[in-house]
Chain A
Amino acid sequence: MTANGVLYILVFFLVLLALTKPLGLYMANLFEGKRTFLHPLLRPLERLVYRLTGVREDSEQRWTQYAASVIAFSLVGFLFVYIIQRLQGFLLLNPMGFSTGHAPGNATAMTPDLAFNTAVSFMTNTNWQSYGGETTLSYFVQMAALTVQNFVSAAAGIAVAIALIRGFARKQANSIGNFWVDLTRATVYVLLPLAFVFALFLCARGVPQTLKAYQKVTTIEGAAQTIAVGPVASQESIKMLGTNGGGFFNTNSAHPFENPTPLTNFTEILAILIISSGLTYTFGRMVGDTRQGWAVFAAMAFLFFAGVFICYPSEQAGNPQLARLGVATAATRTQPGGNMEGKEVRFGIASSALWATATTDASNGSVNSMHDSYTPLGGLIPMFNLQTDEVIFGGVGSGLYGILLYAIVGVFIAGLMVGRTPEYLGKKIEQKEVKMAMVAIIATAFVILVFTAMSMVARFAKNGYWNPPGPAIANLNNSGPHGLSEILYAYSSGAENNGSAFAGINVNTPWYNLTLGLAMLIGRFGFILPALAIAGSLAAKKKVPTTNGTLPTHGALFVGLLVGVIVVIGALTFFPALSLGPLVEHLVMREGRLFSSLLSVAPGFSPACAPMHRGAAWMLGIWS
């Protein structure tokens, strides 16, 4: 590690800390229905929404209605994105002619399974990309389909978190707010102003914003170069703020047009965590004890630092195999050193490692360097961040409701150890809360492990429909433990709605598109529905007064407990898998062992014959 790198990380954290309270306070006021300084400007717009959509601003919903609204909205969003993608060849703003006869030679076809995967991906705030943006999508799809989901899926996440906070804050109430109102306010007052200002800033620093076709130039040495451009800035800003992460371009924020300078890099990392961090303060504020919010923030901060300071030194140490070839891996005044494969010179090691940690702490999934090329321990951190359900600041909203579910589990066990029926923020934690929290934690673990395991051994006919390369592991770009990591990372990313990837694996096949799509759906709603159920159940409860016998949930002890629960549950679930992936890869890397290609394909099962898949194929037929 370099002193400059450490300074970078510390300054970053301090700025994040400084912004937490003002933004958190603003959101608390907003969602408690108070006037904010933006009301004079935006209130007319908010009112327009209600007038045009017929939503009654003052009506409240029970948790079941709230959940139904979330689901209905998501389903409609999915259909919008799916249809717009499938029709992109017939729609406007398609200067490169994707999905038409005059598409560029390197274009990717918009198949039904790809459209399904992408629609699910953006609707669930995952933004996993089985495609390369500049070779697949028209400007219209990027704007009217993807940018829209960047806003509303993030707003839906915030809404759910707010509903859960209300569950804690309210006493013997049967409603938890109104989804449509929360959604509208999160979009109009939080995301839209921030995104608008940020987009202009990014454009000023060099991010393109144009509807013109790709620029054709002839380079100094006389080669032809086609430079992809587009309405990038407007999508980039919300992609970072809404913890979406789906890049305009294939290589996401490593691409100089998404992230041209060190300054844009710094602000973009900040944008990943800012809203989620602010929500911890919103939480404390709305439950009437800001210390509670800071305790959650502290647990997140601890895990954040732990992750960064494992990832960063591992990357800075670099790959011993390259050092043996006479490559300088030590940082000097004139070069970053370390593991530069997949990283950009303008960012260097520290801010790449910081980004990798932050983007997986949150459910962002954007990257400014390629996680697949990280050292094993450097890559373990992003992967473990995903597998612990992205609760370190986390996705906008999802991070907060995620960590609150962990807090419920932690408080339950710890509460018993102080000899009382466990309670959190004055609400008794009973059967229903424990059950729902466990459902959420198990649901994601289930899809990650089961789909990864199936892909390890699934065999498909070569050049068949399901997976043209043949067995599912034939899509890997790396072999040995790193190959296992690639698949494990893919499903972790999908199930946790992250979207980043060990991107070497070719996932644009029906098998991966469908299973990853399912993983995203289960991951998203497997968390949202239990969180809302808990919100409903908590709201209906009385508030137990705090006594000396109450477990304090604002001190260092609670922070330690929360951190412990997150790490232990993550480790218990994924240690076996990780030990055959990044952990063993780290050990063999130091031994100097390399892996070239798979020695043989194991005898496995062939899921293509399973009725489930025939059903899926039939449904695909309808969609196409």
Chain B
Amino acid sequence: MWRQFAPAFRMMLFFTVLVGLVYPGLVTALSQALFHNQANGTLVEIRGRAVGSSLIGQNFTQPEYFHPRPSAAGSDGYDASASGASNYGSTNQKLIDRVKASVDQFRKENPDYQGPVPADLVTASGSGLDPDISAASAEAQAARVAKARGLTVDKVRQLIARHTKARTLGFLGEPRVNVLEINLALDRHFPAPR
């Protein structure tokens, strides 16, 4: 068996160079040239200043913005340098307590909405950085956003409809609303009264 170590060592050294350095290096060079924006994190800039990535969720708490899902990333949520989930099981008291708190807060913030709370809006996402909410979750917040910005609910609904991404190819994934993008659109079209 010891005789196998010499080839093993040489093989490992060779592959470390080939697939550990040459391959990622080549992919990096090509990506930076071909897909510069995506390769660097799909950042969104407002007046030359990066405000986030359209793929990475960020927190919104003010009433005039759509709120994202609860996040367990980092200690305060939406820590994009430490993704994380709650990892609460279905029979965990902590899960029920947290969801209950979210539901209560939602009801308090959105007194005009009477229906059942969409599941995604009160459950923590897998990454803690989910950039999206469901269309139903956006709709549930429409009245609040409209009131905070002094708009009709219909205007907000139209915006939601415009920002609802359909399923890819008609069946892949779920319809969704990107929270950062729709909030940027809100600011663009209906600047909040400050």
List residues of chain A with CB under 8 Å of any chain B CB. 4, 7-8, 11, 49, 52-55, 65, 68-69, 71-73, 75-77, 80, 104, 106, 132, 134-135, 143-145, 147-148, 151-152, 180, 183-184, 187, 192, 195-196, 199-200, 203-212, 214-215, 217-221, 223, 225-229, 231, 233-235, 238, 249-251, 254-257, 260-263, 265-266, 318-319, 321-322, 325-329, 332-348, 351-352, 367-370, 372-376, 379, 477-482, 485-486, 502-504, 585, 588-589, 593-596
- Which residues on A sit within 8 Å (CB–CB) of B172? 8, 262-263, 265-266, 351
A-B contact sample (6 more), CB < 8 A, given A206-B42, A231-B24, A345-B134: A7-B171, A76-B5, A134-B83, A227-B43, A266-B168, A345-B176
Question: Is the beta-carbon distance between A209 and B11 smaller than 8 angstroms?
Answer: no
Question: Is the beta-carbon distance between B5 and A72 smaller than 8 angstroms?
Answer: yes
Separation of A164 and B157 alpha carbons in the complex (Å) = 61
Question: Is the beta-carbon distance between B125 and A219 smaller than 8 angstroms?
Answer: no
Separation of A335 and B123 alpha carbons in the complex (Å) = 13
A-B pairs with the 10 shortest C-beta distances? A262-B173, A254-B126, A504-B87, A482-B89, A348-B174, A335-B136, A328-B116, A72-B4, A144-B20, A335-B134
Question: Is the beta-carbon distance between A54 and B7 smaller than 8 angstroms?
Answer: yes
**Looking across the interface, which residue of chain B has its beta carbon closest to that of A321?**
B96
- Which residues on A sit within 8 Å (CB–CB) of B134? 334-336, 345
**How many residues on the B side are at the interface (Cβ–Cβ under 8 A)?**
110
Question: Is the beta-carbon distance between A219 and B51 smaller than 8 angstroms?
Answer: yes
Separation of A49 and B7 alpha carbons in the complex (Å) = 11
* Nearest CB in chain B: distance from A529 CB, A: 12
- Which residues on A sit within 8 Å (CB–CB) of B9? 76
Q: List which B1-35 residues lie within 8 A (CB) of chain A.
A: 1-12, 14-16, 18-21, 23-24, 26-28, 30-32, 34-35
Question: Is the beta-carbon distance between B96 and A322 smaller than 8 angstroms?
Answer: yes
Question: Is the beta-carbon distance between A235 and B24 smaller than 8 angstroms?
Answer: yes
**Looking across the interface, which residue of chain B has its beta carbon closest to that of A11?**
B171
- Residues A373 and B86 in contact in the complex (CB < 8 Å), given A69-B8, A209-B31, A217-B50: yes
Name A326's contact: one of B87, B92, B116 (CB within 8 Å): B116
- Which residues on B sit within 8 Å (CB–CB) of A211? 28
- Residues A345 and B88 in contact in the complex (CB < 8 Å), given A203-B39, A233-B27: no
- Residues A200 and B119 in contact in the complex (CB < 8 Å), given A219-B51, A225-B58, A334-B136: no
Separation of A67 and B49 alpha carbons in the complex (Å) = 57
Separation of A335 and B141 alpha carbons in the complex (Å) = 14
**Most B CB atoms within 10 A — which of A206, A327, A343?**
A327
**Looking across the interface, which residue of chain B has its beta carbon closest to that of A351?**
B173
Question: Is the beta-carbon distance between B7 and A346 smaller than 8 angstroms?
Answer: no
- Residues A594 and B96 in contact in the complex (CB < 8 Å), given A132-B84, A215-B53: yes
Name B87's contact: one of A238, A319, A477 (CB within 8 Å): A477
- Which residues on B sit within 8 Å (CB–CB) of A55? 7, 11
- Which residues on B sit within 8 Å (CB–CB) of A53? 7, 10-11, 14
